[in-house]
Structure 1
Amino acid sequence: MSENRTNGLRSGARFAGVGAAAAVAIGLFSTGAASADTFVPLPDGQKVAPSGTVTITRTGEHAIVSPSLAANGAGRTVWVSGNAVADVAETPEGEAGPWNGPTNNPGTNNSSTHGVSRLSTGYIVGCQVSIADDAIGAKVGASVNTEGFGLSGGLSLNLGPGDVKWVEVQGKDIPKAGVYSVEYMDAEMEIQGCAGYAQARSYTVVEIIGDNYSKTTLYGMPFSIG
């Protein structure tokens, strides 16, 4: 369904974390003059790690897609919202170095975190790339890189044909077992330089450090952003 918005101030990109009960304001976004926005509802999802010690649940996800204010035919803007929850039954408490095994060697002890288990959530955004399950398995091409939101506002992405970027919206450390949540609303991504179609899909990753290292990822449904 679509809705018309005539007033240009969008308050938003609120991130909240249950567990630390923290909220971070990401600023105010302006949508400018009247434009036709498209509301995209997205389904809930859940993934349980093979070990059964991690359950990821994603609810309330939706996107609002708008033409870019640049009006150059190669840009569009999307506001994304959702809630990601990690139920973690087991993890080493506290922080440690990225090598957490008794022998301090690579292998199952190798972690890409900064030394503590972590929940992170965001979006994979591509230009003229179908971000389907088979593409994810193939690492969605060789041009993948990661960008993140700053505290000053939204994020602007320059994407050429075939480009894919991983955009982290928010994350939370997991220093001990428990339930951790990240909620975000109207987080703004502006895509420029993509004259073809653009697509995105959410991801939520829980990485558990230690001897029983694991990395569990829940992907959302791909959706068009114009």
Structure 2
Amino acid sequence: MINRKNVARMAGVGAAATMAIGLFSTGAANADTFVPLPGGAMSKTLSDGTVVSIRLVGESANINPSMGSTPLHRNAWVSGSAQVDVSGDGKGSIFPGYTVGCQVNIAGGGASGGVEGGADWSGDTVKPSIGATSGGNLTLGPGQSNSFYILDLEQADDFGSEVHKKRNKFSGGSGSVTWADSTIGLNGCGGYAQARAFISVEVETDNVISWVTLWGQPFSLG
């Protein structure tokens, strides 16, 4: 497995990416394919009238369909930026991640069992399961899927011990997270495989706490 540095930039700013289609390799047999992706955008009005807007921009994937020269292995490096705006200076947390499936249709969101703990990933009000995977190295058989979070943020808890968080908190009505070359490693899948980005946001206002999820476009892992 090739490890590359995962970069997460946490701020109320976005990122722009200039993308081109091409092949990057030392030989045709192990060519990496660069795939620009369209990202996405959505707005949702909460029960108290708060408007939440989520955008996925600068999204791309660099895909190696056969790591280790075997059809059971895939590897991809994904990049993108999640941008969130909440009316009324709301606050919350951003949870970016990916769902990966082996010979299963993930076009409607996550598949059953996609997140450990049984969360339903088919709608736009998804609350991530506490048991969701926090790394992109997955082993899946036919008909299986799983989801993982991009972020692994180290910080100290109230007692000074190191803890790891899968979200970026924001306040003042806006926030963003940008990642570059985060690894998706898939083992054990002998058929077609797909992946799909998601941005789940927990929003807190004076009157409501709610979850809103934006899904990116599914893309092939080969």
- Out of 188, 197, 222, the residue aligned to residue 218 of structure 2 is 222
Could you tell me how far 1:173 is from its partner in structure 2? 1.4
* Residue of structure 1 in register with 2:180 after alignment: 185
* Residue of structure 1 in register with 2:80 after alignment: 82
CA contact (8 A) 2:4 2:182 kept: no
* Residue of structure 1 in register with 2:115 after alignment: 144
- 2:153 aligned with 1:173, yes or no? no
CA distance in 1, matches of 2:90, 2:221: 40
- Out of 97, 100, 112, the residue aligned to residue 122 of structure 1 is 97
CA distance in 2, matches of 1:184, 1:20: 13
* Secondary structure at the counterpart of residue 104 of structure 2: coil
* Residue of structure 1 in register with 2:55 after alignment: 57
Alignment deviations for residues 152-173 of structure 1 (CA, whole Å, 9 cap, x no partner): xxx3110111111111102201
The residue identity in structure 1 corresponding to 2:198 is Y
After superposition, the Cα gap between the structure-2 partners of 1:69 and 1:218, relative to the gap in structure 1 and judged at 3 Å, is same
CA contact (8 A) 2:89 2:174 kept: no
Could you tell me how far 1:32 is from its partner in structure 2? 10
CA contact (8 A) 1:127 1:159 kept: yes
* Secondary structure at the counterpart of residue 77 of structure 1: strand
Q: Percent identity over the alignment?
A: 35
CA contact (8 A) 1:129 1:162 kept: yes
Q: Alpha carbon RMSD of aligned pairs, Å?
A: 2.7
Could you tell me how far 1:126 is from its partner in structure 2? 0.5
- 2:8 aligned with 1:15, yes or no? yes
* Residue of structure 2 in register with 1:101 after alignment: none
- Out of 51, 63, 66, the residue aligned to residue 64 of structure 2 is 66
- 2:126 aligned with 1:156, yes or no? no
* Residue of structure 1 in register with 2:157 after alignment: none
CA distance in 2, matches of 1:75, 1:142: 21
Give the number of equivalent residue pairs: 176
Could you tell me how far 1:86 is from its partner in structure 2? 0.8
Larger radius of gyration: 1
TM-score (norm 1): 0.69
- 2:39 aligned with 1:47, yes or no? no
- 2:208 aligned with 1:212, yes or no? yes
CA contact (8 A) 1:122 1:204 kept: yes
Q: Structure 2: give runs of 5+ residues left out of the alignment.
A: 15-23, 117-131, 152-166
CA contact (8 A) 2:96 2:150 kept: yes
Q: Structure 1: give runs of 5+ residues left out of the alignment.
A: 1-8, 22-30, 94-116, 150-154
TM-score (norm 2): 0.70
* Secondary structure at the counterpart of residue 217 of structure 2: coil
Could you tell me how far 1:11 is from its partner in structure 2? 5.2
The residue identity in structure 2 corresponding to 1:213 is I
CA distance in 2, matches of 1:157, 1:204: 19
The residue identity in structure 2 corresponding to 1:203 is F
